[in-house]
Structure 1
Amino acid sequence: MAPAEDDISIDEKRVYAGSAGRTDAYVATGAGVVRVSLSADKVGAFDMVARDPARDVAVLSRGDGAADLVAAATPDGLAVAAVGDDPEFALVDDCPAVAVGATGARDGSLLVAREDGAVGRVELQGGEEGGPSAAPSTTRLGSVAEPRAVDGALVAGAEGVYRAGEDGLTDVGLDDARDAAGSGTPLAATGAGLYWLGNGWMTAREGAADAVAADGDGHAMAVVDGDLLVHSGAGEWEDETWAVADLPVDETVVALGYGPGVSVVVTGVGTLCVDAGDGWRHQVVGVREVAGVALADVEEDE
């Protein structure tokens, strides 16, 4: 088992990260948020950084010297912390949330789906020490029946996929959407299959698709009929451009994420697998009820 984060000094973290840099993977679980430090495909320390149940997690990149933020959708509301060595999560509202994602818009906002189906854009102003303020600006965009996932401007729900815009939500089709990827070519995982948006929704792979993620540069992963599929990175998205990944563990993948140069998957029994281009490595984190993963690029202190 990796050493506890408290047992690793800042200098040791810097040596560990080396020239590859450090990426932190934040994993949402029923017990809280777990942070796992990565350097390329090397898995380092991990620790619990929030101890309240989390249903989803997202990283919001900000410019102008402001610290990037990690946001967790929780039964008590939206909890946010600044990315860094000692993230301190704090609730910025008290409306139960089920899914959260960075919109990718210039305003640096989050798209949040609530337990009652409401979907809104949340803008977090700067607070003390580069963290978020406790008084975000929230704009309600509409509602979705049984929202399940948010990514970019896309919301996946029981009745299909919706796109968030300035004037509200637009139904863009499909049914029983379980996940969506809004970076680059839109992708959707549904009970009937994996789809990509071209001239309408096109079938990439038939079967029960439960999760999908993309990096915006043609790389993508999806879970279909229990298999982890990896997209080749080519410009096409048909069935033949996807291949089953050979993971080092025989476990069901439930969460997918991309970071700078790395692909990360987390299984239902708490094993984290990472690929930086030379094959998959894994580390047993030992958490259950995994609900999501998001990756943050960490700038080391001098």
Structure 2
Amino acid sequence: MAPAEDDISIDEKRVYAGSAGRTDAYVATGSGIVRVSLSADKIGAFDMVARDAARDVAVLARDERADSVVAATPEGLSVAAVGDDPAFEAVDDDPAVAVGAAGGRDGVIAAREDGAIERVEFEDGGTVVASTARLGTVADPRAVDGALVAAADGVYRIVGGGLTDVGLDDARDVAGAGMPLAATGAGLYWLGNGWMTALKGAADAVAADGDGHAMAVADGDLLVHSAAGEWDDETWAVADLPVDETAVALGYGRGVSVAVTDAGTLCVDAGDGWRHQVVGVRDVNGVALAVVE
């Protein structure tokens, strides 16, 4: 495993964070949740903030109070306020396999172990469930993002209070911000006049920021979308990561792209190339980014 690049002192990191702002990346793993502090592409401190297995993680943005980070775990959903000392609290006991922001300010979409897809709304404090509404059931849910759900039997879109089957098969991940994207066992697809092929080959992960930027993992390569308005194979280029490892979790934050590898290395790009830090975890299942300051 390669060592971290561009090592800087704690004082330098604090100075840089003061001018560029801080974003925290929450990495869901089989051994818990690791929080990694970022300031643009400078990687700061990282620590384990939850020690229970997490299958997925999402950030719930809020207007006038601290954002929340929500984890899907084998024991149910758990929630913590974004900040210097996040303390995760269990909010239900229904095993969850995936979670994604619902598009509003008070709730998430949760995919349960039994295939149920639910909209879970939280009270103002962010750690108490106010309501749970069942939207439908899918076979072997795998990922949730925005209004899209990835499942073994295809991609579903949340419409009103239910689910609509929008096609494909063996969907492994989805990106619901901006152009809808789906990673499947047969390739990466974008939604035009029906699902259109962007890349052929087994695609395992995809993420987008809603502003024309996107990343995907296909046949083990990390690919970055490079052309606004077009989505075919010519608009994707293989990224030159600084480590010879496979990216398994992708995310976007304020001006940054993040890819976490199967070996537990977090890579971040703020527009000037990738930097990385080994964070010492395996069994990586997801990543979500929260603006702290």
Which category of TM-score, normalised to the shorter sequence, fits these structures?
over 0.9
**Distance in 2 (alpha carbons) for counterparts of 1:117 and 1:134:** 23
- Identify the residue that residue 193 of structure 1 maps to in structure 2: 187
- Identify the residue that residue 177 of structure 1 maps to in structure 2: 171
Q: Which amino acid aligns with 1:188?
A: A
**Distance in 2 (alpha carbons) for counterparts of 1:179 and 1:154:** 9
- Identify the residue that residue 31 of structure 2 maps to in structure 1: 31
Q: Report Cα offsets for 1:126-170 as digits up to 9, x if no partner.
A: 12xxxx242331110001100000000100000000011223000
Secondary structure class of the residue paired with 1:251: coil
What is the deviation of 1:247?
0.5
Percent of residue pairs bearing the same amino acid type: 79
Secondary structure class of the residue paired with 2:166: strand
Question: Is the CA contact 1:102–1:108 (under 8 Å) kept in the aligned structure 2?
Answer: no
Most deviating of 32-41 and 164-173:
164-173
- Identify the residue that residue 41 of structure 1 maps to in structure 2: 41
**Distance in 1 (alpha carbons) for counterparts of 2:243 and 2:225:** 20
- Identify the residue that residue 5 of structure 1 maps to in structure 2: none
Q: Report Cα offsets for 1:2-39 as digits up to 9, x if no partner.
A: 9xxxxx7xx98753412110000000000100000000
1:154 to 140, 148, 155: 148
- Identify the residue that residue 118 of structure 1 maps to in structure 2: 116
1:284 to 278, 284, 287: 278
Alignment of 1:13-92 (within 5 A): 14-63=14-63, 65-92=64-91
Question: Is the CA contact 1:56–1:291 (under 8 Å) kept in the aligned structure 2?
Answer: yes
4+ long deviations beyond 6 Å: none
Question: Is the CA contact 1:75–1:96 (under 8 Å) kept in the aligned structure 2?
Answer: yes
Q: Which amino acid aligns with 1:221?
A: M
Q: Report Cα offsets for 1:89-125 as digits up to 9, x if no partner.
A: 00111100000000213x5320000000000001111
Secondary structure class of the residue paired with 2:66: coil
Which structure 2 residue ranges, 5 or more long, are not aligned? 5-9
Q: How many residues get paired? A: 286
Question: Is the CA contact 1:160–1:176 (under 8 Å) kept in the aligned structure 2?
Answer: yes
Q: Which amino acid aligns with 2:115?
A: G
Secondary structure class of the residue paired with 1:120: strand
What is the deviation of 1:267?
0.3
Which structure 1 residue ranges, 5 or more long, are not aligned? 3-7
Q: Which amino acid aligns with 2:253?
A: G
Question: Is the CA contact 1:230–1:245 (under 8 Å) kept in the aligned structure 2?
Answer: yes
Question: Is the CA contact 1:147–1:158 (under 8 Å) kept in the aligned structure 2?
Answer: yes
Q: Which amino acid aligns with 1:89?
A: F
Question: Is the CA contact 1:92–1:136 (under 8 Å) kept in the aligned structure 2?
Answer: no
Question: Is the CA contact 1:99–1:112 (under 8 Å) kept in the aligned structure 2?
Answer: yes
Secondary structure class of the residue paired with 1:223: strand
Q: TM-score, normalised by structure 2?
A: 0.95
Residue 255 of structure 2 is aligned to residue 261 of structure 1 = yes
Q: Which amino acid aligns with 2:52?
A: D
- Identify the residue that residue 237 of structure 1 maps to in structure 2: 231
Question: Is the CA contact 2:267–2:274 (under 8 Å) kept in the aligned structure 1?
Answer: yes
**Distance in 2 (alpha carbons) for counterparts of 1:284 and 1:250:** 13
Question: Is the CA contact 1:189–1:212 (under 8 Å) kept in the aligned structure 2?
Answer: yes
| C-alpha RMSD of the superposition | 1.5
Secondary structure class of the residue paired with 1:295: strand
Q: Which amino acid aligns with 1:88?
A: A
